[in-house]
């Protein structure tokens, strides 16, 4: 990971669960039993799928946002997020930068508006800039 200044090219949220039918089922069962949790899931998803507030936030961020499960990470994201999930990374020309760690995500209690605030604060703390709006 890098701490140099740069422009955010993409955001990657890494869930603390595997994807695919088996992974999703294991997470749901664990959630019901109280043995599995993912604070990023709480921000992005409600009972019936992606939350409306999340779908509305993503275009406002001005960069592509990818959400991946543990077993879907590419090598660069895997290296930057290993042992730190759930998390949100900014991908920059200098490499991935951690913006939100598990504790920061847990403190949001699933709030999309607080997520947006903390995400921007995390970018500021890391010395990163958002791309200029197109137009």
Give the containing element (helix H, strand E) for 3. Answer: none
Residue 1 lies in a domain: no
Instruction: Tell me which residue range forms the domain holding 98.
Output: 6-129
Inter-residue contact 88 to 105 (CB < 8 Å) = yes
Residue 134 lies in a domain: no
Residue 44 lies in a domain: yes
**For the chain, how many structural domains are there in total?**
1
Residue 91 lies in a domain: yes
Residue 71 lies in a domain: yes
CA distances from 19 to 64, 69, 71, 102, 108 (A): 20, 5, 6, 18, 23
Residue 65 lies in a domain: yes
Q: Tell me the C-alpha distance between 22 and 56, whole Å.
A: 29
Q: Tell me the C-alpha distance between 106 and 15, whole Å.
A: 12
Question: What pTM was estimated for this model as a whole?
Answer: 0.85
3-class SS at 98? strand
Q: Tell me the C-alpha distance between 19 and 50, whole Å.
A: 15
Pairing of strands 128-129, 6-7: parallel
> 10-residue block means of pLDDT along the chain (135 residues)?
70 87 64 74 86 96 96 96 97 96 96 97 96 73
């Amino acid at each position: 990971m890098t701490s140099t200044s740069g422009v955010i090219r993409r955001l990657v949220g890494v869930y603390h669960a595997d994807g695919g039918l088996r992974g999703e089922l294991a997470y749901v069962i664990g959630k019901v039993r109280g043995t599995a949790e993912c604070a990023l899931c709480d921000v992005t998803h409600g009972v019936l799928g992606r939350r409306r507030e999340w779908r509305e936030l993503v275009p406002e961020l001005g960069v592509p946002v990818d959400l991946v499960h543990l077993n879907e990470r590419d090598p660069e994201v895997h290296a930057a997020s290993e042992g730190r999930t759930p998390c949100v990374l900014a991908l920059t020309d200098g490499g991935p930068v951690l913006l939100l760690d598990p504790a920061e995500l847990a403190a949001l209690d699933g709030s999309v508006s607080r997520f947006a605030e903390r995400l921007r604060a995390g970018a500021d703390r890391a010395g990163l800039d958002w791309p200029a709006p197109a137009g």
